[in-house]
Amino acid sequence: MSDSRVFFAAERTLLAWVRTGLTLMALGFVVARFGLFLNLLTASLADSGAAVTNAHSAHWPSGVLGTILVLTGSATTLVALHNHRIYLRSLPPEDIPRLTKPWLTSFLSLSVVTIGVLLAVYLVFS
């Protein structure tokens, strides 16, 4: 007896992990850009005559931490896709419904991973 609910539960689980990976990437971008905001704020305070002591070197870890978070989000999505594929191979063929576009979840996941890696490269070189 065919039960496609198992397949669709696996799809929902993959999409939940993709959402988690995107959240980590967004958090990483915000953390990396927060350091830039602090540097601009420090420069603004220095221009206004306020006392500022070596603030530029204190904010560099936010860029590194942000990049690590973006790469962690990409890795999370990639590992989730790998686990999803392994799980789908373990299902009996009658539990896998006929889809018009069976490659769509893999394409979505790999697109998110690619965007995350490109974002990490941007953060490193900007």
Tell me which amino acid residue 71 is. L
**Whether the predicted pLDDT of 87 surpasses 90:** yes
42/31 Cα distance (integer angstroms): 17
Tokens of 36: 């830039």
| Domain boundary assignment for the chain | 5-125
Among 2-11, 13-22, 46-55, 112-121, the minimum mean pLDDT is found in 46-55
Mean pLDDT of 14-35: 94
Longest Cα separation, the chain = 77
DSSP for 29-57, please give it: HHHHHHHHHHHHHHHHHHHTT----SHHH
The pLDDT score that the predictor gives to residue 49 is 64
Q: Above pLDDT 70, what percent of the chain?
A: 82
Six-digit token string for 51: 């006392």
Segment 16-44 mean pLDDT: 87
Residue 120: both structure tokens together: 């990490």
60-74 confidence digits (pLDDT tens): 788 899 999 999 999
Global pTM reads 0.81
CA gap 10, 74 in Å, rounded: 19
Q: How far apart are CA 82 and CA 63, in angstroms?
A: 29
Residue 75 identity: A
Q: How far apart are CA 29 and CA 31, in angstroms?
A: 5
Identify the weakest region by mean pLDDT among 29-33, 39-43, 69-73, 79-83: 39-43
Q: How confident is the model at residue 57 (pLDDT cuts 50, 70, 90)?
A: low
Residue 39 pLDDT greater than 80, yes or no: no
CA angle centred on 86, ends 96 and 103, rounded to 5°: 55
- The reported pLDDT for the residue numbered 54 is 54
